[in-house]
Amino acid sequence: MQDFYNSDAMITAAYVIAAVLFILSLRGLSSQETARRGNLYGIIGMAIAIGATLANNPDAAITTTLANNPDAAVAHAAAAATRGGFHALLFGAIFVGAVVGSIMAARVAMTGMPELVALLHSFVGLAAVLVGYSLDLKTQHSLAHRIEIYIDVWIGAITTTGSVLAFLKLRGSVSGKPLLLPARHFLNLAMLAGSLVCAFYYAKTNNQIALEIGTAIACVLGVHLVAAIGGADMPVVVSMLNSYSGWTASAAGFMLGNDLLIIVGALVGSSGAILSYIMCKAMNRSIWNVIFGGFGAAPPKSAGGPAQPQGEVQEIVANELADQLKEAKSVVIVPGYGMAVGRAQHAVRELTEVLRKRGTTVRFAIHPVAGRLPGHMNVLLAEANVPYDIVLEMDEINDDLPATDIVMVIGANDIVNPAAEDDPSSPIAGMPVLQVWKSKLVIVNKRGRAAGYAGIDNPLFYKPNTKMLFGDAKDAVEKVVAALKS
């Protein structure tokens, strides 16, 4: 029995159980109702995976130790010391990582979650690069193994630098405007060709210089691909980087001969790619546009030039809005990144409760790329305990907007911009948007008159059935709630 617990069969069984739990975790994360259970499955699966790794002895190091000590007693003592040192290093790394991760999780606000996710993707890529180099320095490898090392390091380098730049863009340290260099597609192709040449030379000669040059090219390529993506497409970029990190982990699994890492990496990579495709479809973007950095990003020019907004902005104050809400029978709330910045989700939930107690039908309309992270608004509303059954996706609620009395847009801009449908010269032309302007009254809450994250003016603000409620989202909604209660 003891032999079984230390056998490869036991390790394999643990890996299979962990893999199943990871699949169930992804399934659970597909909806708010099962998200907690999905997270729990993932935690248990990771605990089993770490336990199996600890039980899997560092065979190569122990074999070397035994071979170098002809005396059996001395050899086994040395092997035990080697195993103990390995476990001590592993436990130390886990402890340090747990402390750093706990501090980051405790300190980050929901507004900082998108950039944190992007930064964490860079850790995956960097780990793959470092592991690849450590294996390359260790011993001579077969042709297949060298190919695995190069692919792992190359994808990891792209993921690392691309994720760091995405982090800086989302944080605001770097402009969200796309950097469209002349002949950028030729530059991408040249870097890809250079990478293939380095891969061929490294695989044939095992020359580390080729691996280093290929890594440098991949780092530049990662920066260039993400730099060419505009602010409006950043949620898709985060999702795509998530996919890259998964494929990086899967490549590392082949490199290390670890079946579980291959499975987990493939799960993350494929799910991230599928999510990116869904989001691109929701934005009328080509998936190749995201992958190749702005390919085909330029919209067609209209003959008369960009449409100019007409009319004046109409303002409304909290008391007036409360009076309008008292008369409304149906209200739809459209949350955006401004709600996250103002941390207004709890105030919005209180507004929802007050209106529903008065008999008003209240629902939420969620655009697939609202916020700066896939599912950003869903997470915020779930945190505030907004009932799941009144949170609807764009396709589920767009047809109901013409019959809606009031639509409240809280901190959203580009996802409700009619220029996507009316102005062929707009950078977001063709992007499906929430058609809030078709409702009887639109209330837009913004802190100021500035354009949204994509830097595009919004003709919605000037429509005759639109009124602007200026101010911080939390403060503005709380004033409306207070007026309703009075």
β-sheet with 466-470: strand ranges across: 391-393, 361-366, 330-335, 406-410, 441-446, 466-470
Answer yes or no: are the C-beta atoms of 348 and 339 closer than 8 Å: yes
Answer yes or no: are the C-beta atoms of 225 and 293 closer than 8 Å: yes
Candidates 136, 152, 233, 414; catalytic one: 414
Radius of gyration over every alpha carbon of the chain, rounded to an integer in angstroms: 27
For residue 284, report the phi and psi dihedrals to the nearest 5 degrees: 55, 40
Answer yes or no: are the C-beta atoms of 278 and 289 closer than 8 Å: no
Q: For residue 426, what are the CA distances in angstroms to 283, 346, 419, 459? A: 13, 34, 6, 11
| 3 annotated active-site | no
Q: Which position has the token pair 């001579």?
A: 140
Handedness of CA 258, 259, 260, 266 (dihedral sign): positive
From CA 177, how far away is CA 442, in angstroms rounded?
29
Active site residues: 414
